A and B are shown apart, each in its own frame.
Chain A
């Protein structure tokens, strides 16, 4: 910029104003602000923010780690889809954990019990997981349209039920006998995700998730259903008035969201160590990292892979931050929360703007 900072010329000022209105400014600003708040929290705890953040980057982006980081990015992208699809029509799916474990359970059961060659068994297990978890997610739609129970509430109440039932089945019904941990036996060779070259964490599951994201992008931007989703998200009554069957749309969106979460569960179970272990799917917190990524992307399909990178780095790097900078890894949750709060509070800018224009 050529103008002096004290007295910007009108043109420069206009450019600046245009730049500030760019859609990327708010999410970027939210991230920067969240990182600053995080730094203050770390400093207040008597620790060094720079070392901590450096450790986060190093722990997640070190070339030897990238294989693992990419697999986590895939899981977070998948769970972001589970949140973003209903978000597009203004609904919140907070039941990703339940949908994910049901998918994981279904995939494990299919892989352990169906005698088919791998070329058929792997797709069948993923498909079965998608159907069961999708059906479970879709339950919330009639609960909302018939009984007026908001999707955000029903998904939250349904999720712990599914988690508890899966945990019960693992411990008492289908778990490996004589094992101290509640877990299924190791899946047979033909029931495992196909490897990608000699990578040990990222596998074909990652490609499945990328395909899901592409599908969401295409449906969202090129199809009538995608248009209806966005219309209802912008104004539900207008959508209904315009002939959109909101109930049916919610059913489809929740089924797709549940299916996405179920597929993530299936992929995790069919990847190393090739079992469903009690609690292992939900303890890394992919559901809320995905939700945060979806919110940061504003539900926009093209942005999800980008925003998911941030939460992947926080998630994967959290452990090494704990190790080398002595900063508890819970800071990742704190930063996720702060990003979401800051994003929500962006309305303060609109407020200021309207106040100024009306003054």
Chain B
């Protein structure tokens, strides 16, 4: 029984990790006042770049690096467009999401001459932490995971502390809270917004890499399948408190993992697929009831 439960914890972590990286990207953007809904497309591009990178370099970590760099580059469109040129980040993001979907499918055909999915023999996936196998409790949870899984939590805590306790973090929060005030104190607002969005791209690249080289070892067209949107919802849920992100994302991870379990005992896949979205929506509504009350008073 204990093994069963620990393996469930492992499944939850596995499902939550890509969402966690992407949600952190979204949360950093939110901190500087950019509504970033480009996560889905960036994660998809990251997944493709990771698989292509691993294939060409022969090393999974090479794939991660290429995913990180190329997705940061991909995020430059959103970063420069919204911060420097004051374009609508929502419209840019709708465009880049479509672009990522089209471009990954296109390149899949042009570079690898396959359509649908790509997993050549010898494609290097990220190594699992098998050396932990004999450690009680930690072993069953982490032995089958990649290093990127625990790293996600480290990165979130580090970013949370950085935002809270460093001058640069304070400025970054100020940019989102009151851009004019920040600007009058000599903070370069567009530059903060730009670099925060590019950093978000790098994180989405890692999210995609974990999805395509950690959770599985394959690239499939549209394999992110809405995870980027769940991440956007998670960002809304924690409303500017990045340290709460793990809780939100683990909740979604649990919904997905539970769905797999239920599928295993015969629940129809269509309904378990819908579960994360339904749960996300319900949780969003529940957490917003206070918002609704305050609105009723003011209107």
Query: Using a CB–CB distance below 8 Å, which chain A residues touch chain B?
Result: 41, 45-47, 92, 94, 143, 146-149, 152-154, 156-158, 160-161, 164-165, 167-168, 171-172, 288, 291-292, 295, 328, 330-348, 350-351
Contacts and interface: CB of A to CB of B under 8 A. Distances in A.
B98 A288 contact: yes
Given A147-B285, A157-B229, A292-B98, A334 B270 contact: no
B274 A341 contact: no
B261 interface: no
Nearest to A344: B91
B170 interface: no
Contacts of B109: 328, 330
Interface in B28-62: 37
A340 B274 contact: no
In the A-B complex, the 4 residue pairs with the closest CB atoms: A333-B102, A337-B99, A340-B95, A337-B98
B106 A345 contact: no
Contact of A333 (B105, B285, B288): B105
A167 B226 CA distance: 17
A143 to B, nearest CB: 7
Given A149-B288, A328-B115, A291 B94 contact: yes
A150 to B, nearest CB: 8
Contacts of A47: 110
18 contacts: A45-B106, A147-B288, A149-B236, A153-B37, A153-B236, A157-B233, A160-B226, A160-B277, A164-B271, A165-B274, A171-B268, A328-B110, A335-B102, A340-B91, A340-B94, A342-B95, A344-B88, A350-B86
Contact of A152 (B37, B77, B106, B226): B37
A148 B288 contact: yes
A165 B100 CA distance: 27
A345 B87 contact: yes
Contact of B97 (A147, A172, A337, A339): A337
Interface in B263-299: 268, 270-271, 273-274, 277-278, 280-281, 284-285, 288-289, 291-292, 295
A61 B73 CA distance: 38
A92 to B, nearest CB: 6
B85 interface: yes
Interface size class of B (residues with CB under 8 A): 35 or more
B270 A331 contact: no
A156 B99 CA distance: 18
Contacts of A45: 106, 110
A351 B233 contact: no
Contacts of A334: 98-99, 102-103, 106
Contacts of A336: 98, 102
B81 interface: yes
B248 interface: no
B212 interface: no
Nearest to A332: B102
Given A336-B98, A341-B95, A147 B292 contact: yes
B87 A338 contact: no
A161 B98 contact: no
B273 A147 contact: no
B178 to A, nearest CB: 18
A337 B102 contact: yes
Given A164-B271, A165-B270, A337-B99, A328 B81 contact: no
Contacts of A168: 268, 270-271
A314 to B, nearest CB: 11
Nearest to B109: A328
B98 A157 contact: no
Interface in B83-140: 84-88, 90-92, 94-103, 105-106, 108-110, 115
B87 A337 contact: no
Nearest to A154: B281
Contact of A92 (B94, B280, B281): B94
Nearest to B270: A168
Given A337-B99, A344-B88, 9 more contacts: A143-B285, A146-B295, A148-B291, A158-B281, A161-B278, A167-B270, A288-B98, A334-B103, A350-B86
A286 to B, nearest CB: 13
Contacts of A344: 81, 87-88, 91-92, 95
A347 B101 CA distance: 25
Nearest to A139: B281
B72 interface: no
A337 B42 CA distance: 13
Nearest to B80: A345
Contacts of A331: 102, 106
Contact of B99 (A94, A152, A158, A341): A341
A344 B86 CA distance: 9
